[in-house]
Amino acid sequence: MTGSPDKLHLEHFVPYRLSVLTNIVSMSIADAYEREFGLTIPQWRVIAVLARYPGLSAIEVAERTAMDKVAVSRAVQGLLAARRLVRSYDAGDRRRSRLRLSSAGQSVYTRVAPLALSYEKKLLDALSPTDRKALDRLVGRLIERAKRLAATSSSL
Amino acid sequence: MTGSPDKLHLEHFVPYRLSVLTNIVSMSIADAYEREFGLTIPQWRVIAVLARYPGLSAIEVAERTAMDKVAVSRAVQGLLAARRLVRSYDAGDRRRSRLRLSSAGQSVYTRVAPLALSYEKKLLDALSPTDRKALDRLVGRLIERAKRLAATSSSL
DNA sequence: GAGGAATGGTTACAATTGAAACTATTCGCC
DNA sequence: GGCGAATAGTTTCAATTGTAACCATTCCTC
């Protein structure tokens, strides 16, 4: 058993454990991307999503990366400065930007993506194929549930 | 299936999903603790661990909460200012502090802990008992694995 | 027992992040 | 077609966090 059910032990508290796991993983990845490509994680997310969906606006990028629009704005600024992105504006609605990878940005993507997948693979090597599928399913359910709890008012 | 295996889709990338999940969960909890008790998450962690292990030093708290010593120092400062903690110094080694909850701190703990457990319960309601056990096991394995990858040099 | 390395903890400063206010453009509708 | 509300995105300022430098004390060892 994992511990007495009604007392709170930090080391068995699921939100704590998720936070610990995510911190280790994110820091490993962030270090590697920064070191190898001068990319922050927000920038990497923007690149990843634009590689797949070229021409998105900043807000659409935000929706697909779970970032807020300020974070996207800053990531985009950095990527524009590094000439890894090109920005135009929508003809019909000049508030909306249209973001695409420059060829330099494409090149970054084709080099980072395998690295990202390789890290994920190494991490998931700790699990059997069955467990990997289970993880995917469980995390999916928890995300849905956590969203609903956060939406349903006070979430206590 | 979850998507083509060799291409990178952010929405199926495990580190990304973990980050999304942890962010939602942490924000919900942080909001509730702040609103109800004026507690930050680091402060809450310090309280939780001292409730169980009274008399720890700051560094020992850091080890048990996965926080660095600066974060602990700041959380402790806040808790001392709120008179939720009392600090003495080790007789044999006057560098080491000995931290304990004050009675106000105890009282905060006895009120926060059920709230924390209730949130965890609501979250895990999304899963069957079998799935809950599986989650615990999978997260444990991934933490171990992520630690080893981070330790084994460049972690790419 | 004196000097240097190590440890516990805090402080100071820089970088990141978050929230709110702001600009520009478009939409709704009278 | 003009005016207020809404939307896209940026900027600003404050709060949080991370890193490094910094005391104080203790340990090691000569």
Q: Categorize the per-residue pLDDT at B42 as very low, low, confident or very high, splitting at 50, 70 and 90.
A: very high
- Which residues 73-102 of A have a C-beta within 8 angstroms of B? none
Q: Provide the percentage of residues in chain B whose pLDDT is more than 90.
A: 88
pTM (2 d.p.): 0.92
pLDDT score recorded for residue B82: 95
- Which residues 106-135 of A have a C-beta within 8 angstroms of B? 113, 115-120, 122-127, 131, 134-135
Which of left, alpha, beta for B27 (phi over 0: left; psi -120 to 50: alpha)? alpha
Q: Pick out residues 43-102 of chain B having their CB under 7 A from any atom of nucleic acid strand C.
A: 57-60, 69-70, 72-74, 76-77, 93, 95-97
pLDDT digits (tens, 9 = 90+) for A7-58: 789 999 999 999 999 999 999 999 999 999 999 999 999 999 999 999 999 9
Q: Which residues pair with B87 in a beta bridge?
A: B99
Which of left, alpha, beta for B14 (phi over 0: left; psi -120 to 50: alpha)? alpha
Mean pLDDT of the region B127-135 = 96
A60/C11 CA-to-C1' distance in Å = 42
Mean pLDDT of the region B102-112 = 96
Mean pLDDT of the region A112-120 = 95
Rounded alpha-carbon distances, angstroms, from residue A145 to B13, B29, B34: 19, 14, 22
Give me the DSSP letters along B86-110.
Answer: EEEE-SS-TTSEEEEE-HHHHHHHH
| Number of C-beta neighbours around residue B55 at 10 A | 12
Distance from CA of B21 to the nearest CA of A (A): 5
pLDDT score recorded for residue B152: 80
CA A103 to chain centre: 22
Secondary structure letter of residue A156 according to DSSP: -
**Helix axis angle, A58-65 relative to A69-81, nearest 10°?**
110
